[in-house]
Chain A
Amino acid sequence: MSEADSIVAETAARIFADLADPQTINAAKDDGWRKPLWDALSESGLTLAWVPEDLGGAGAGLAEGFELMTVAGRSASPVPLTETLLAGWLLSQGRIASPAGPMSIAPARPKDRIALGADGTLIGRARGVPYAREAAHLAVIADGPKGPAIALVATKDCRIADLRGLAGATVQDVTFDKVVPLGVADAPQGVDQSALMLLGATARSLETAGGLEAILAMSVKYAGERVAFEKPIAKFQAVQHNLARLAGEMAAATTAATSAADAIASAERLDHPGIFLEAASARIRSAEAATEGTSIAHQVHGAIGYTKEHILHRFTMRMLTWRDDFGNESQWAVDLGNRVAANGAEELWPLVAAR
């Protein structure tokens, strides 16, 4: 926590500390902790922070919502807070009121497309939608007859397929087979699937940065406690240098993610080359940091970090999963590389030095 954190972030941090302590959750026999946590987040207005007050939300700014995501990342709690925030933002862009309860968004990957037909139904498939099974509603960005359209959909009207990937029970494929939306609206200028990916990728970068903060603190603490060869392993230079590298990865992810969040929060429009550079860099660098950082944290912890009983895996597996949402780092890198190449050699430095 820094002195700059807003009331929104402080409230969230308190709720996560009280109701989502990783140790308690990890040891829990069932999902009994989920409802109290969600209710507390919801009653504080955090889940609909990005929904204006006249649409039933808390009306917080983009910057405050982004802070919330860093805080959520620090506890790596498997609840669809970020997804519900994104869904609320998207629905609000179409002036569609947000329902209560957990929501998610579709598509969650840049190449997937959902079409809004002339008959008003949705057709298409969204792969890797986080919390599709848990969310009662989905906010959808679709290709409509007149351009991008925003739709609110009941998840029970879609076909949900479980995957067996790293994300476990938290991610599903969603098929829209002539689904009738509960509400639909034309997307305003500048709000399209790319805009949703920008926000989603930035959100995951912030969560990853928060997660890296947590595993760095955890690893530093453990290295100070664990004695081997008659001294705390923190005294060994090899361990110190590994932790210094982890700190560097955390710092890179945090800087890229908070810079992107700051740029988006103060942007007049999202379809701008400078904003694309910020979000792409945040996604690429934070995913690389997740790959490097999680392996260092496990190395420092040794065998105990590889047990079900220890909380480290709650963070590391989640961060590795997040790399795939809203475009993985390879996809963003290809897009960024293509844009740089298309603009030509002389435009590279002006792009990097633009702000």
Chain B
Amino acid sequence: MSQTQLAEKNKSLLLDVEELSTHFFTEEGIVRAVDRVSLRLSEGDTLGIVGESGCGKSVTALSILSLIPDPPGKIVGGKITLTGRGDLTKLTEAEMRKIRGNEISMIFQEPMTSLNPVIRVGSQIAEAISLHQSVTKRNALEQAIEMLKLVGISSPERRAKDYPHLLSGGMRQRVMIAMALCCKPKLLIADEPTTALDVTIQAQILELMNKLKQEVGTSIILITHNMGVVAKMAQKVCVMYAGVVVESADMPVLFSDPIHPYTLGLLKSIPRKKRAGQKTRLHTIPGVVPGLLNLPKGCRFSDRCYRVHEPCRRWEPPLAPPENRPHNGQHVRCWLYLTPPKE
């Protein structure tokens, strides 16, 4: 075994999500937003969860933190094991509150709606600190200013007294990151943290996240629909579609050897540098993502897949290593690579 393979094997598991199912019970029917999703995060890694609208990536993140509104949502099955804390689905709300912001933190896409507009930013960070540490108000504020400095905000003592609306989008996101990391969490869940930001600011924030990952020792689950961000940030990737994981792999392998037809379609439809300036048509995946109340029978991708065949319309494939081709740790949910049930 090589040095890197050994180091990889010795990375301890931090979060183990097994067969998580989160369903929403609505008047029109049961929406299976997350359906038997399994994923694992090793300490020190960034796990990218990538997929388009409605694939269940945000609901997965909210489920981990037990933030699913009930009614109408509910975790109906599976286990979420955080090393050192056991199965999170079995904890009480009081116990979860001790974990949120402390061992597991989350940052969201729209920093403006995540910050309280009537409280100064320094105080908001200090509040997060006071919730989990018994320190004086003054001490909490001092720590908050230190965090602002850590996330690269200049004149942090002055900035701490600002209200959110005085800050730019990039700065607000830095404040969110400061709030999320102030208690040195083991796990940071970032749900599309840079989607709402300009591209030059996005580059700053992503670089900051990588730097802080090292300094604070936090592992990251990064949710995004942007494959470029995945390539830059993630060590491992899960591709989700209509509530299930369709492919999981190490990041370099996902790009060099994508297997699932959806993953292939997704990568091919990204506009890229043209050769010799000719106009080419973009590759498309025909059709649209099915509504979760109108899933096709069998494989969820079957009505859009260019390689659909008989078993696809009858049974949903499991997520497993491909059986009929060499692989490098990938798992795929596709009858092209697994043996369908016999009649």
Instruction: Report if A and B associate in a common complex.
Output: no
- Interface residues of chain B, those whose CB is within 8 Å of chain A, are none
